[in-house]
Structure 1
Amino acid sequence: MHRSTLARPAAGAALLLALVLARGVGAHDGARAQSAAGAGQAREFALTAEPVRWEIQAGLVVDGWGYNGQVPGPTLRVTEGDRVRITLANHLPVPTTIHWHGLDVPLAMDGVPGLSQDPVPPGGTFTYEFTATNPGTRWYHSHVDSNLQLQLGLFGALIVDPRQPDPEHFDREYTYILSEKALDVTPQVALGQAQVRNQEAGNGRGGAFTPDLFLMNGKAGTAIEPMHIAPGERIRIRLINAGNLVHAMHLHGHSFRLIATDGNPVPAAAQLLKDTVLIGPSERYDVAVEGTNPGVWLFHCHINNHMENGMVTLLQYDGAQPLAGGGLEAAHGAAGSHPTASPTPSPPPTADAGASAAPERSTDEGTMDLVDNRFVPTRLTVAAGSTVTWSNHGNNAHTVTSFDGLWDSGTLLHGDQFSFTFTTPGTYRFICRQHLLQGMGGAIIVEERPPPTP
């Protein structure tokens, strides 16, 4: 999360302005800025596209691709008129580029393969050079195999401060990048070595995928850093939608002013007062919030399954505390963290899967129950060739969904069952897509079948 304390520069305070600009973002920014000094100066940055271990929530770590070892990539902050030079080093196993979304750059710097440049090959570098001519909230992202590379984490914020100081004073500033995450969209999918759950999605290339989580700054639920405000303060929130879906961001206890759209300032007479803003893919909105109502307030996507699966944080007044035993977990039902990290995909087994009202039992069967938003047992060891049957004994709807995209039960209501036959040894991790943040997951360990007794 981008957080900074901004000062209103006075006449002759050039040194103070330079210090504020050089600071970039606060120490609690999850996507830390790289900064350089002085308006109208040369700014140089280095971005490395590389494999990362991406912690979405405590205990939930997935393989991804990021810039400089993080998702989102570092926030780049410059000033209108700066001459910007950014060198991309590609440490990925596939080609990539960077597109500077919302910036008016020369064609050769736009990052579109086959139109403005050749893709940067694995091990290669490319230097982007342009003048930051249009201030506001911008962002950057891969423009190669975008549906997959953005899913894997190749995006970040780019803030262009106006050369003339903003006439409106903000005490603090926050940036949230919104995105979705399908756990079966892995680097192996991008390399053609694995498939996604929805086979009609074209393995993520040009088709839809099924998100499991809805993220803010690459985090879900309690892992998202909250906003803070003091009574009488005014804060600025920059919202960037790096995902494929529309999100309806809603703030409890306050209305906010829409002060910029797609990075461009809205004249004061045209600024709308709202409590929910609908943000489409690639759109940006800047909103101003006045500290007039002390307490601890939710800020979340009001598409409810987006909120319940991660897209929720807090606006917390200094000194205010949630109710005893309460807090964000109680407010949106995220009662715990996910118990497992993502595996290296197992070799695709030859398997038969399908819903079964009364599966045929044999000595090669294993069973799991779905009760009270948990799998019982959470781990099961079977021999190769065994069929495992999951049975929903609870009142809630659940899914049994493989991390690897090997199977997805679809929605299982009370009394429904789902069976899958495992023929290849390995560890097969799975989740309930509807209760991922509540820690509902498990694993099947498939061992070699012992040789027959002579």
Structure 2
Amino acid sequence: MRKIPLLITVLGISILAACSQQNSETVNPEKQAEEKSSQQLVQVKSEDIEGKKVNEFNLTAKEVNWKLSSETTITAWTYNGTVPGESIRVREGEVVKVNLKNELNEPVSIHWHGVPVSNTEDGIPGVTQDAVLPGGTYTYEFVANDPGTYWYHTHQNGVEQLDKGLYGTFIVEPKDGTGVERDYTLVLDEWESEKHDEKMNMEDNSGDSMNMKGMNMGEMSNMMGSSSSNMMMGHNMSSYDIFTINGKTYEENESLKVKKGEKVKLRFVNAGYMAHQIHIPIEYKVTHVDGQKVNNPQVVNGSILEVAPGERVDVEFVADEGGDFTIDCHGEMEASQDMKMDVVYEDGNSQKATHQPSNKLVDITTLGKKTQSPFSFGDEFDIEYKMVLGTKMSMNAEMGMVWTINGKTYPDVPPIKVNKGDKVKVTLTNESMDNSSHPMHLHGHFFQVLSKNGKPLEGSPIIKDTLNVKPGETYEVAFIADNPGNWLFHCHDLHHASNGMVTMVKYNNFEVFYTDTGKVDNQPE
């Protein structure tokens, strides 16, 4: 195959990025005039806690020895000493008050992933607060108005701190209850064992490991042309040699108990950096995505559920005593076999149902039935923003590559500027050279998925806060600018985010409540 010279490749990418940037944002002229004429300050959403039940939690960030498997114990960073951290569970409309204490030797924070909190509570160092220094404390307080499956995690140097286990689950039950008899949360993650670290050190010392620092730009470009989605900035994803559910491998986890006739809910949360294909070998329904309801979901039989980094997917099934079964992960990596969980009938006869193979993926764009939704495919919008997700070579990067939005890296990516109340459409296109997927997460808002590759969704409205954009795919999503503040919009493979793939949604005339003090090394990704 003929190799394209790097200079031409980089020049082409630069031209495309420039063109994308020139056309990245379209503003309604009438709205633009209205913005110029209005100088009224826009303030953060107030949290009305008066008269509401207050649920108070104390979370301590600390280091512990954590047993992943019978053979592997690691040094983990935790909230309250476990991985995942203490589960926070409240009812819709109740107040959540969390007192964070930092007993680690590095600054930390808490971000409430998917929860449209006031901007003051978003937990982003250098954007909404200073990270909490070692020995320090900080209190978050907000009203849990939106029922659903969420999670919380540090947003300070997240690429490293999440990798060490600094996260937990956050469940908001509807006022009228969940309607199920059993409710289980399964958090997916991947880890590097010390055995792997020792192997990599040996390879480094022998000079056999891949080291791009010694490559010239042409050699790096050639490598990029043949790289797979497993190759990351300074990090080969195949280094994750242990996969877990709820911080444990298969043999260390307890089975999920059910009884015949019970309705069972399973909440899947991906706290890692890899998408996982979960096989549930029975009939079930996908009832929620990112905590938001799917309208009239259909039964799927034995299909594979893909959960990308940052995403949450709820499924429900009725226990019919067809036999015990195993939920497992389909994947090429050896560690996939550790990511599974048994479902066992308490009063059963210990017979196991046949585990039929499947290669059919659940498609969120065809879930459920159409009903009233905030947006339609043909709507007009006040703001339209085109977001091209890409990569480019960079001599300033440790491994010679960065991940970009419209050809630029954070903080140089132009933000999405909105007025309060604007209808905003964002077009997400994945043109990354490295063939990687990008689970894009918007803080502070839910968005509706309008179309995939130009085709409008025909089933249930799909409302999310994290959307996995695979190589070559284009999605259109829309949201209402109803939560004033400065909000991140970034890839939740934090290897990508920490190396550039971040932008912001910024409200015009926003009254700033936080200024970086300069006393903390704030690292928002």
The TM-score normalised by the length of structure 2 is 0.49
Partner of 1:172: 182
Q: Which amino acid aligns with 2:59?
A: L
Q: Contact conserved, 2:102 with 2:136, CA < 8 A, in 1?
A: yes
Match of 1:218 in 2: 247
1:249 offset after TM fit, Å?
0.9
Indicate conservation of the 8 Å contact 1:201/1:207, yes or no.
no
- The count of residues paired between Structure 1 and Structure 2 equals 278
Q: Which has the larger radius of gyration?
A: 1
Secondary structure of 2:145's counterpart equals coil
CA RMSD of aligned residues (A): 3.2
2:341 to 313, 316, 329: 313
> By how many angstroms is 1:59 displaced?
4.3
Gapped regions of structure 2 (runs ≥ 5): 1-50, 198-203, 214-231, 356-525
Q: What is the rounded CA distance, in whole Å, between the counterparts of 2:80 and 2:55 in structure 1?
A: 18
Amino acid aligned to 1:295 = G
Equivalences for residues 176-195 of structure 1 within 5 A:
176-184=186-194
Tell me whether 1:77 sits opposite 2:104 in the alignment. no
Structure 1: runs of 5 or more not aligned: 1-38, 188-193, 329-454
- Residue 182 (structure 1) shift: 1.0
**CA distances 1:26-73 after superposition (whole Å, capped 9, x unpaired):** xxxxxxxxxxxxx94011111000001101123421111111111110
1:157 correspondence with 2:186: no
Aligned to 2:143: 131
- Does the Cα contact within 8 Å between 2:188 and 2:272 map onto a contact in 1? yes
Distance 2:148 2:211 in 1: 38
Q: 1:322 to 1:138 in 2, by over 3 A?
A: same
**Alpha-carbon distance in 1 for matches of 2:134, 2:142:** 24
**1:385-407: CA deviation from partner (whole Å, max 9, x where unpaired):** xxxxxxxxxxxxxxxxxxxxxxx
- Out of 272, 279, 285, which is 1:257 matched to? 285
Normalized against structure 1, the TM-score is what?
0.56
Letter aligned with residue 255 of structure 2: P
Instruction: Indicate yes or no: 2:62 matched with 1:53.
Output: no
| 2:124 corresponding residue in structure 1 | 112
1:230–1:317 CA contact under 8 A, matched in 2: yes
Q: Secondary structure at the match of 2:286?
A: strand
d(CA) in 2 for partners of 1:200 and 1:113? 32
Equivalent AA in structure 2 for residue 214 of structure 1: F
Contact 1:40 1:79 in 2 (8 A): no
Residues 323 and 351, structure 2, Cα contact 8 Å, conserved in 1: no
- State the SS of the aligned residue for 1:52: strand
- AA partner of residue 178 (structure 1): L
Instruction: Give the CA deviation at 1:164.
Output: 2.8
SS in 1 for 2:59: strand
Quick one: which amino acid aligns to residue 258 of structure 2?
A: I
Matched, 1:237 2:266: yes
Matching of residues 13-412 of structure 1 within 5 Å: 40-166=52-178, 169-184=179-194, 207-209=235-237, 210-252=239-281, 254-268=282-296, 270-271=297-298, 273-275=300-302, 276-305=304-333, 308-320=336-348
Question: Cα distance, 1:165 vs. partner?
Answer: 3.0
Question: How far apart are 1:318 and its partner, in Å?
Answer: 2.1
271 and 141 in structure 1: CA distance in 2 versus 1, 3 angstrom threshold: farther
Q: Secondary structure at the match of 1:163?
A: coil
1:152 is displaced (CA, Å) by: 0.7
Q: What is the one-letter code of the residue matched to 2:141?
A: E
| C-alpha displacement of 1:305 | 3.1
Deviation of 1:322 after TM superposition, in Å, equals: 5.2
| 1:226 shift after superposition | 1.5
Q: Distance in 2 between matches of 1:186 and 1:55?
A: 16
Residue 90 of structure 1 and its aligned partner are, at CA, apart by 0.6
Contact kept in structure 1, 2:54 and 2:96, CA below 8 Å = yes
Whole-angstrom CA distance in 2 between matches of 1:294 and 1:219: 27
Q: Is the 8 A contact 2:323 2:348 kept in 1?
A: yes
Does the aligned pair in 2 maintain the 1:148–1:205 contact within 8 Å?
no
Tell me: CA distance 1:128–1:201, structure 2 relative to 1, closer, same or farther (3 Å): farther
Q: Secondary structure at the match of 2:159?
A: helix
CA 1:248–1:163 in 2, change beyond 3 Å: closer, same or farther?
same
Letter in 1 for 2:183: E
Say whether the 8 Å CA contact 1:148–1:185 is kept in structure 2: no
Amino acid at match of 2:145: T
> How many percent of aligned residue pairs carry the same amino acid?
34
- The whole-number CA distance in structure 1 between the counterparts of 2:165 and 2:323 is 34
SS at match of 2:343: strand
Q: Residues 158-200 of structure 1: CA distance to partner in whole angstroms, max 9, x if unpaired?
A: 000112334xx3121111000000124999xxxxxx99x9776
